[in-house]
Amino acid sequence: MASLSLLTSNHPLAKSLEKNWRADYTFGPPEKADILLVAGGDGMMLRVLREYASQKIYGINCGSVGFLMNTLHSENLKDMLARIEKAKEIALHPLVLEATTLDGKRHTAKAINEVALLRRGAQGAKIAISVDGVMRMQELVCDGVLVATPAGSTGYNLSAHGPIIPLGSNLLALTPICPFRPRRWRGALLPAHSSISFEIIDPDHRVVGVSFDDQEIHGVTHVTVKEDSSQKLAILFDEDHHLEERIIAEQFLS
């Protein structure tokens, strides 16, 4: 059996599992473990993926949606260990963003689900969009626009009427958020190797921030987003309920 470490959120169920499981099993430090057992929600999973990007992670859903987590079938630790041994590995590639802010500073960060540009004032944002150096939209007037990975396509992207993307499709979703002009533009599917650049028009008056998973940079003037194909994030899913199946099933829900 691979060495395990246990990480939990502050959710009451997660803390209850931690108390019971630590009484029956000696978990090692996360830095040295082969597999990280994470009890919590998607937010907890995203934090662990960022901090321990080189290790395999098996998540247990203790929140509401838990799209990146497995369903808790039994609180018995032996049952849990048996499921981990049979789990399938899914490889995810994060997004890397480079942002320039109003003060001229440059920021680099990574995102697992999506990168979203959002207006931070009463006026709509005005954003020019280029793909691989080619200007594709001179001016998008909107509340915002986002780039989603396949794993993130069922989250904010889906709520913004973006497409669900199956894993392994090598695609990214470019989706507007409440577009005003052009009003009928619903976004685009782009090859995963695309470099997508956003130029904020009149950024001093039409202030825009960029959010990536659960973090944010305020007052951006330019943002570039692309997939980091060199980094593989390994998530373990139960054989009967893995992420790829959930993405397919989500497309048939009313």
CATH number of the CATH domain containing 189: 2.60.200.30
* DSSP symbol at 252: T
pLDDT in tens, the chain (254 residues): 689 999 999 999 999 999 999 998 999 999 999 999 999 988 888 889 888 988 999 999 997 777 789 999 999 999 999 999 999 898 889 999 999 999 999 999 999 999 999 999 989 999 999 999 999 999 999 999 999 998 889 889 999 999 988 888 899 999 999 999 998 899 999 999 999 999 999 999 999 999 998 789 999 999 999 999 999 999 999 987 666 777 777 778 76
CATH of the domain at 245: 3.40.50.10330
Q: Residue 189: give the domain boundaries.
A: 95-227
Shared-domain flag, residues 34 and 55: yes
Query: pTM to 2 decimals?
Result: 0.82
CA dihedral (48, 223, 130, 231) in degrees, to 10, reads -30
Q: Residue 227: beta bridge partners?
A: 95
Count of domains observed in the chain: 2
State how far the Cα of 70 lies from the Cα of 154, in Å rounded to an integer.
16
pLDDT of residue 254: 63
Residues 84, 100, single domain; the answer is: no
From the candidates 42, 132, 213, 214, give the one annotated as an active-site residue.
42
State CA 157 to chain mean position distance.
Answer: 10
Output the pLDDT for position 1. 67
Same domain, 240 and 184: no
Closest-CA residue to 145 (of 167, 165, 130, 166)? 130
Known catalytic residue at 202: no
Contact (Cβ atoms closer than 8 angstroms) between residue 253 and residue 74: no
Same domain for 108 and 211? yes
Shared domain for 100 and 213, answered yes or no, is yes
The model's pLDDT over 75-117, given as tens digits with 9 standing for 90+, comes to 999 999 999 999 989 888 999 999 999 999 999 999 999 999 9
pLDDT of residue 217: 96
Query: Coil, helix or strand for 18?
Result: helix
Structure tokens at 51: 């901090």
